[in-house]
Structure 1
């Protein structure tokens, strides 16, 4: 499946979750970034309009955010 715009943010690992989410939505206005605690279980449904920002208990992005 091909989604519009930027789909992967390698540079955001290590960044605060709120800052990462704002960057994602600024760089690709077709998506909504959702901040989740790493390990949170979500439905395995692929959406071109969603990016999960996985953070640790300190609120730092710990996995590469990508569309899905």
Structure 2
């Protein structure tokens, strides 16, 4: 595991643990089609398809907070910077 702790965007509301606050707003919340894509390309697509979230690129294995945040999407990338896990709101 890396020694870096990745920041996350401030939640729109505190607490932000309620998926109904973001997951039913009419925007996309998961991107399985981005598996294998370059991380920066995936980030651009997510920003276009859901303007309510902040996508954050994270190297696989790095530490992140595990709370649910309605305006965050972790984009886990491998050593070649390709998306390794399905990006989703949370």
TM-score normalised by the chain length of structure 1: 0.94
Match of 1:13 in 2: 35
Instruction: Give the 3-state SS of the residue equivalent to 2:56 in structure 1.
Output: strand
Instruction: Please give the per-residue CA displacement for 1:2-55, whole angstroms capped at 9, x wherever unaligned.
Output: 213211000000000000000000000000100000111111111110001000
Query: Who wins on radius of gyration, i.e. which is larger?
Result: 2
Match of 2:59 in 1: 37
Could you say what the CA RMSD is over the residues aligned between the two structures, in angstroms? 0.8
The structure carrying a bigger strand percent of its residues is 1
Distance between the aligned counterparts of 1:55 and 1:43, measured in 2?
17
Match of 2:75 in 1: 53
Unpaired segments of 5 or more residues in structure 1? Answer: none
Match of 1:22 in 2: 44
TM-score normalised by the chain length of structure 2: 0.72
The runs of at least 4 consecutive aligned structure 1 residues that moved more than 6 Å come to none
Distance between the aligned counterparts of 1:67 and 1:38, measured in 2?
17
